[in-house]
Chain A
Amino acid sequence: MHDKRTKRMVAIVANSDDQAPARTEIDGLDLATGLIGLVVDPLARVARPMVHLATPLRHRLDRVLVPLGERGRHDREVLVEHLNEVADLLLPRVVAATLARLDLTQLLRDNVDLDVLATDIIESIDLPEIVRVSSASVSSETVQGVRIQAVEADKAIARVVDRVLLRRTARSPSPIDTEVDESPG
């Protein structure tokens, strides 16, 4: 059933191809563009005279509005300047008067958890490291380098021995053990 229909369609397409003189491919996007043009063109044709009519009106409005805007901007700048002068004059006095009436230390003590704050600060800045780095001499840096190399050598040797002894579990990270077993395996 399907085969017959398919054959018929192939035949129709083949015939139409033979008869059509060099038919070009039609893209969906092209089709959509054509449709949009079909709609927009008449609209544009109608709108164009209206725009031409509105242009002189716009120029006339500009002549009124632009000076008005410039004057407004000037007024705003002057106002801001005056306000700044007033703020410079008043704010320091207001703040000073407010601070004179407040016990800031007491306020901090009552409302801020200073212990937590101090601990957080100390933890975040790593004070001992800063002290150490700032006071470290060349010799102590050399010693640190030697120690690091020794630790790396320790690890390398332990790895090799563990591999030779076919150990699967890691070595104990703590010297304090509960095991009695000191067997190599």
Chain B
Amino acid sequence: MTRAEKPHLVSLVPAVARPFQGAPAGIASRVAAAIVDMILVVVILLAGYACVAALMFLSHPRSFSFPSPPASVSGSIASFGAMLYLSVSWAATGRTFGDRLLGLRVITRAGGRVHTIRAVLRAMTYVLVPVGLIWVPISRHNRSIQDIVFRTSVVYDWE
């Protein structure tokens, strides 16, 4: 194929990011993205709590008091919310809001998008055992324990 016949692909990646575009992301970026996601989930849960409280107030204004579910219930709801958010984000676009902000993307070892079941299982393990990220700086391929189990990678993707 001559040069003239070759299709001209225009890269959308900024010049500064081209050297490491597609390379496995390190622990700092991933933890930063996780913190952003955590804050976002907390905000969403608080907004949900406020909505529930408002509905309760509207239905029984006189006997209203702020709902105070037991720790196990609120913990379960928070975990479920985080899991739902992570799995939907990974399965739909390959990146959460935190990933987008930090320029990261979750991919399979083959380089494709993570499918729903794998995304759900990965999200569950991240919510239950977030310390799996500790393996990232130790791994030669910057993989967390979850990445090794579910055969995924997190790469820099600034597109």
Contacts and interface: CB of A to CB of B under 8 A. Distances in A.
Contacts of A132: 12, 14
B20 A171 contact: no
Nearest to B28: A153
A151 B26 contact: yes
A98 B150 CA distance: 72
B11 interface: yes
Interface string A44-61: 000000000000000000
Q: Looking at chain A, what size class is its interface with the partner chain?
A: 35 or more
Interface in A95-146: 113, 115-116, 119, 122, 126-129, 132, 143-144, 146
Interface in A164-185: 165, 167, 171-177, 182, 184
B140 interface: yes
Nearest to A173: B23
Interface in B133-149: 137-143, 148
A140 to B, nearest CB: 10
Interface stretch (B49-57, B68-76, B80-88, B104-112): B104-112
A132 B14 CA distance: 8
A165 B103 CA distance: 28
A150 B137 contact: no
Contacts of A83: none
A10 interface: no
A119 B3 contact: yes
Contacts of B20: 151
Contacts, number: 96
B128 interface: no
B101 A146 contact: yes
B14 to A, nearest CB: 6
B15 interface: yes
Given A119-B8, A147-B102, A174 B23 contact: yes
B17 to A, nearest CB: 7
B22 interface: yes
Contacts of B154: 175
A147 B158 contact: yes
Contacts of A87: none
A148 interface: yes
A124 to B, nearest CB: 13
Contacts of B4: 113, 115-116, 119
A177 B23 CA distance: 12
Contacts of B15: 126, 129
9 contacts: A113-B4, A116-B3, A119-B8, A132-B12, A147-B102, A172-B141, A173-B23, A175-B23, A184-B139
8 closest Cβ pairs, A-B complex: A154-B26, A153-B28, A175-B153, A115-B4, A150-B29, A161-B137, A184-B138, A147-B103
